[in-house]
Amino acid sequence: MTLAGCSLVGGGEQPATDHTVTLVTHDSWAVDKALWADFQKTSGITVKVSMNGDAGALTNKLVLTKANPIGDLAYGVDSTFASRALKEGVFAPYTSPDASKGPQRYQLDDSHRLTAIDVGDVCLNVDTGWYAQHNLPAPTGYNDLVDPKYKGQTVVEDPSTSSPGLAFLLGTVKQFGADKWPDFWTKLKANDVKVDAGWDEAYTQDFSGSSGKGPRPVVVSYASSPADEIGSDGKPRTKALLSTCYRQVEYSGVLAGAKNPDDAKKVLDFLVSQKFQEQVPASMYVYPSREGVALPDAWKTAAPLPDAPAQLPADQVDANREKWVQQCRTLLQG
């Protein structure tokens, strides 16, 4: 007996793989479950989600497997790593019908290989209550972090292992210049900065303003983070220092060589749809890329989108990222 032409799924129905899309993403992927289930039901597409570390690890894996892609669609390659993925030919050209409704603001190349899904500005967050209790003015920018009166109060993420950590490093390069940023980090180390491997450890364990109630009142997080720290009085317990924000844009793209590119395009279309974009803030605590999407009420006062976040040209980041990360690592370990 041969199994050729027979199905082992659902008593003779066509295999689900006919309309299955593998979405390759990072570990922070989150989505409203009911909305996601409804999309799959109405579209007839089964989406398998494969999580692959943070944005850096995800990008690296996509590059290493580009000859035999591990999925059909990727989400989560951000603006600090996107230039590498584009240079390596990881993504295929595709322009979503809704790309003109906001995502085009963050376009990286004329072939439209990547479509912006969300925006997350990385910046310093301070525990305003901690400073009030200690009768000390809260820091207002980078230079305060190296002031002796703020010694031992800051926790950041390692730029070699953390996407927000890398964004913070790039923010200091933009602020102080390619030649002067190491001086700032040298002073930061001397002022007893703590460096954690990732955001979760830094924010939920070492930061005093989160549920972890750690010992340090300054942390590298997101401009949207204060919206998750609303007190019983309805006011945020923390504040983002918007002058220190560095813009991270997260993208999605159909993988070159995808087994099911047609359905992958439909999933990408859904990611920029009004319905999906409306749940982005509550699910992933980032801003939607689509214009005209209402933010949660708490965000309007606690997490306004920064007007002028710092950014470096993608080609400059691509050319210097590894060098800067290694310099920073050597400096911190020295």
Please give the average per-residue pLDDT across 314-334, as a whole number.
Answer: 91
pLDDT score at 6? 34
Please give the average per-residue pLDDT across 232-236, as a whole number.
Answer: 83
Residue 193 φ then ψ, to 5°: -70, 145
pLDDT at 60 over 60: yes
Cα 19 to Cα 40, 43, 48, 110: the distances in Å are: 10, 9, 11, 29
Say which range, 52-56, 182-186, 283-287, 312-316, has the weakest mean pLDDT. 52-56
Q: Are residues 237 and 253 in the same domain?
A: no
pLDDT score at 315? 83
Greater confidence (162 vs 38) lies with: 38
pLDDT score at 307? 85
Residue 304's pLDDT band, with cuts at 50, 70 and 90, is: confident
* CATH code, domain with 214: 3.40.190.10
Cα–Cα distance for residue pair 237/128, rounded to 1 Å: 6
Cα–Cα distance for residue pair 204/1, rounded to 1 Å: 58
pLDDT at 17 over 60: no
pLDDT score at 8? 33
The pLDDT mean for the chain works out to 91
Q: Is residue 263 part of a domain?
A: yes
pLDDT at 303 over 60: yes
Q: Are residues 112 and 260 in the same domain?
A: yes
Q: Are residues 129 and 86 in the same domain?
A: no
Residue of 208, 212, 172, 207 whose CA lies nearest to 188: 172
Q: Is residue 288 part of a domain?
A: yes
Q: Is residue 224 part of a domain?
A: yes
Domain of 242?
Answer: 121-246+307-333
Q: Is residue 53 part of a domain?
A: yes
Q: Residue for token digits 């950014």?
A: 311
pLDDT at 14 over 90: no
| Helices 181-190 & 314-333 angle (0-180, nearest 10) | 30
Q: Are residues 171 and 56 in the same domain?
A: no
Q: Are residues 240 and 270 in the same domain?
A: no
Q: Is residue 4 part of a domain?
A: no
pLDDT score at 18? 80
pLDDT score at 21? 98
Please give the average per-residue pLDDT across 240-267, as a whole number.
Answer: 96
pLDDT score at 239? 95
What percent of the chain lies above the pLDDT cut of 70? 95
Helix/strand/coil (H/E/C) assignment for every residue in the chain: CCCCCCCCCCCCCCCHHHHEEEEEECCCCCCCHHHHHHHHHHHCCEEEEEECCCHHHHHHHHHHCCCCCCCCEEEEEECCCHHHHHHCCCECCCCCCCHHHCHHHHCCCCCCCCEEEEEEEEEEEEEHHHHHHCCCCCCCCHHHHHCHHHCCCEEEECCCCCHHHHHHHHHHHHHHCCCCHHHHHHHHHHCCCEEECCHHHHHHHHECCCCCCCCECEEEEECCHHHHCECCCCCECEEECHHHCEEEEEEEEEECCCCCHHHHHHHHHHHCCHHHHHHHHHHHCCEECCCCCCCCHHHHHHCCCCCCCECCCHHHHHHHHHHHHHHHHHHHHC
pLDDT at 228 over 90: no
Residue 197 φ then ψ, to 5°: -70, -35
Cα–Cα distance for residue pair 6/217, rounded to 1 Å: 62
pTM of the model: 0.83
pLDDT at 11 over 50: no
Q: Is residue 280 part of a domain?
A: yes
Cα 37 to Cα 71, 197, 244: the distances in Å are: 20, 34, 38
pLDDT score at 318? 85
What is the per-residue pLDDT across 187-196, written as a single tens digit (0 to 9) for each?
999 999 999 9
Q: Is residue 51 part of a domain?
A: yes
Residue 43 φ then ψ, to 5°: -85, -25
What is the per-residue pLDDT across 250-259, written as a single tens digit (0 to 9) for each?
999 999 999 9
Q: Are residues 168 and 96 in the same domain?
A: no
25 neighbors 49 (Cβ within 8 angstroms): yes
Question: Domain tally for the chain?
Answer: 2
Q: Are residues 241 and 162 in the same domain?
A: yes
154 neighbors 191 (Cβ within 8 angstroms): yes
pLDDT score at 305? 82
Q: Are residues 297 and 324 in the same domain?
A: no
What is the per-residue pLDDT across 91-148, written as a single tens digit (0 to 9) for each?
999 999 999 999 999 998 888 999 999 999 999 999 999 999 999 999 999 999 999 9
Q: Are residues 236 and 146 in the same domain?
A: yes
Q: Are residues 38 and 108 in the same domain?
A: yes
Q: Is residue 292 part of a domain?
A: yes
Q: Are residues 207 and 281 in the same domain?
A: no
Residue 2's pLDDT band, with cuts at 50, 70 and 90, is: very low
Cα torsion 195, 241, 224, 131 to 10°: value is: 80
Residue 5: what residue type? G
Residue 330 φ then ψ, to 5°: -60, -40
Q: Are residues 205 and 253 in the same domain?
A: no
305 neighbors 287 (Cβ within 8 angstroms): yes
Greater confidence (45 vs 162) lies with: 45
